[in-house]
Amino acid sequence: MLQGVLSGRIVGADCCEVCCCSRAPSTQQFGNSVGSVIEAQTRQLITTNRDKSSKMSTSTKKPAGKTQRSAIADVVAREYTIHLHKRLHGVSFKKRAPRAIKEIKAFATLSMGTSDVRLDPQLNKKVWEAGIKGVPFRLRVRISRKRNDEEGAKEKLYSYVQAVNVQNPKGLHTVVVEDA
């Protein structure tokens, strides 16, 4: 970095070229030859620093775009444990069961990547079993990603969520179900 002493002050490329502070080199103090050399070197350092910073910011970004995948290979079924208690924390009692249904749909959308999520009626009964306030803390569900065979479907795939009967859903891991 260019640094020199002009009338007891340090000159560096830290100041911008349009700055009017006393650190900016002037041609009047040293004559045209020395002052113009210092100004040229300062401008060169400033422009190279700008170029380096702009190259660094653009080179790390990747181009945005979706890759095309086959919908046939994406048909899969998995069993998850959804921790509803943490998702319903702070929700008032009269809104707990409806919110639980929304949270199950959001979880299925996130895990399977489909915006079309359909719930099994037995799952709805399982959530509402203990009333609007008594939603189970954890729920074991099987989420199946299936092909959409309807004529005017927006998406090729949809998710179907079913309740799985287990004694205690706590501590169970995600399992890929082979018999879909």
Read off the pTM.
0.61
Torsion of CA 15, 17, 18, 20, to 10 degrees: 50
In order along its 180 residues, the chain shows pLDDT tens digits of: 445 544 555 555 555 555 566 555 554 555 556 667 777 777 776 766 665 555 555 555 555 666 666 655 689 999 999 999 999 999 999 999 999 999 999 999 999 999 999 999 999 999 999 999 999 999 999 999 999 998 888 999 999 999 999 999 999 999 999 875
Among 142, 146, 143, 177, residue whose Cα is nearest residue 72? 146
CB contact at 8 A, 162 and 124: no
Which domains does the chain possess? 4-54 (no CATH), 76-177 (3.10.440.10)
